[in-house]
Amino acid sequence: MLSSKIKYYLLVTANPLSDSEAAITLFKIINRLDILSREIKIFLPGFHVTGNKEKDSEAEVNARINEITSYNTQENNADYHGVNPIYHTYIESHGDIYFNDVDFSKFMLDFEDSCSKFEYCGRTELVVLPTANGKIMNDAIVSFNLDDFNSTKRRNDIEEFILSVIKLIRKDEDRNTLDLISKIQETYVKLLKDKEDEDSATVVLRLDKRLLEYMKWREHDEIFFVSYSTKDEFNAYAFKALLEKHGKKVWMAPDGIPAGFDYASVIPAALRITTRFVVLLSHNSALSDWVRKEIGKAITNKKRLDGVFLDDFTFDDVRNYDHLDFLFESIQLRYTIHELFNNVSVLINFLK
């Protein structure tokens, strides 16, 4: 029994770029879902409506589309390593609806950082977020895999399940207990009609093994994770080639992201399977939100961190960036890219 009332929010992790039928289904019913939810807040990260064709002028709609597509070129997003960031469809009542993978990935990575009990693994999920006093009850978060409804005969079950959840939240009279969570779980299992699926409400299917298979690596291999700014792509790929020339396995985006998976789900998996994290330090990476997120997650995963200074960056430059100066305390080895390429003994020491 809790002293304050519980308020429930819903989060839908639907990425139509992941080839998930469930994500596409949700994408097509987004306007109905928005109206149906009424007072219940549903977060649909990455989704943008360009406007209602009956109310907005063509110029207004085009301006909104330009705003969405230009989002990826903004300073904080320019380092996103995604290949195909935009997906769109047309809905009669709303006009074009766009999905921005950069926006989605940014939200999911930030949400993972703020809710330690939640882990996004690339699935299309309905996440139930109980809150009290305006704060998410982290230990009470539950997620439900909507990809379990992917078969044709079960496609409508996605809509039925979400509607059931909304109805249960509205009918919940005793708002100071978490009994509603078990009711939602019972509804989910009943819809799936299979005891084996009961576990899918709680078991998180990580991408670690899938990623190892994709890269053709084995568990416990020594693997380098290279974090860099897209503006330093030449140096990043040269550095990757240098490591591979000396027999090292290197994971680096976007090459290490399997088709059908998104940046937000693969990065955490890549960090788990790698043993060494190397960040290429430059003014570009110092300003990159994505590099900062990767460093933060590497520290959270207790990875060994090494720093490689590019030609235009020095240790003194680090002190000009407060966040980098703080994070740099976790970096164990510091080299310049020049000495790694031109001094064999230094390179050997680094590889050890």
Flag whether pLDDT at 313 surpasses 70.
Answer: yes
Six token digits for residue 73: 């070129």
pLDDT value at residue 333: 67
Each domain of the chain, given as residue ranges in start order, spans: 6-201, 208-351
336: helix, coil or strand?
A: strand
86: helix, coil or strand?
A: strand
Six token digits for residue 174: 């005793």
Average pLDDT over residues 70-81: 74
Q: Distance between CA atoms of 233 and 102, rounded to whole angstroms?
A: 18
Q: Residue 198 — very low, low, confident or very high, per pLDDT cuts 50/70/90?
A: very low
Flag whether pLDDT at 103 surpasses 50.
Answer: yes
Average pLDDT over residues 20-44: 85
Flag whether pLDDT at 285 surpasses 60.
Answer: yes
Write the pLDDT tens digit of every residue in 119-172. 898 889 999 999 998 899 998 999 999 988 865 455 588 889 999 999 999 988
Q: What percent of the chain has pLDDT over 70?
A: 87
Task: Report whether 279 contacts 285 (CB < 8 A).
Answer: yes
Flag whether pLDDT at 66 surpasses 90.
Answer: no
Cα end-to-end distance, the chain, whole Å: 55
C-alpha 38, offset from chain centre: 27
The owner of tokens 């939810």 is 37
Flag whether pLDDT at 205 surpasses 80.
Answer: no
Flag whether pLDDT at 3 surpasses 90.
Answer: no
Give the CATH class of 208-351: alpha beta
Flag whether pLDDT at 279 surpasses 60.
Answer: yes
**Residue 4: CB partners within 8 Å, gap ≥ 6?**
132, 133, 176
Flag whether pLDDT at 25 surpasses 70.
Answer: yes
**Sign of the CA dihedral 303, 309, 313, 315?**
positive
Flag whether pLDDT at 195 surpasses 90.
Answer: no
Flag whether pLDDT at 193 surpasses 80.
Answer: no
Q: State the Cα torsion 100-102-103-104 to the nearest 10°.
A: 80
Backbone φ, ψ for residue 47 (5° rounding):
-90, 135
Task: Report whether 81 contacts 102 (CB < 8 A).
Answer: no
C-alpha 324, offset from chain centre: 22
Six token digits for residue 258: 């399997």
Between residues 32 and 226, the one the model is more confident about: 226
Between residues 221 and 324, the one the model is more confident about: 221
Computed over its alpha carbons, how large is the radius of gyration of the chain?
23
pLDDT value at residue 199: 47
Between residues 292 and 203, the one the model is more confident about: 292
**Residue 24: CB partners within 8 Å, gap ≥ 6?**
16
Average pLDDT over residues 250-271: 90
pLDDT value at residue 167: 93
Average pLDDT over residues 89-118: 81
Flag whether pLDDT at 197 surpasses 50.
Answer: no
Average pLDDT, the chain: 84
pLDDT value at residue 310: 95
CA distances from residue 276 to 62, 234, 273, 283, 333 in whole angstroms, order as listed: 45, 21, 10, 22, 11
pLDDT value at residue 30: 79
Q: Residue 95 — very low, low, confident or very high, per pLDDT cuts 50/70/90?
A: low
Task: Report whether 102 contacts 13 (CB < 8 A).
Answer: no
pLDDT value at residue 117: 81
Write the pLDDT tens digit of every residue in 213-223. 999 999 889 99
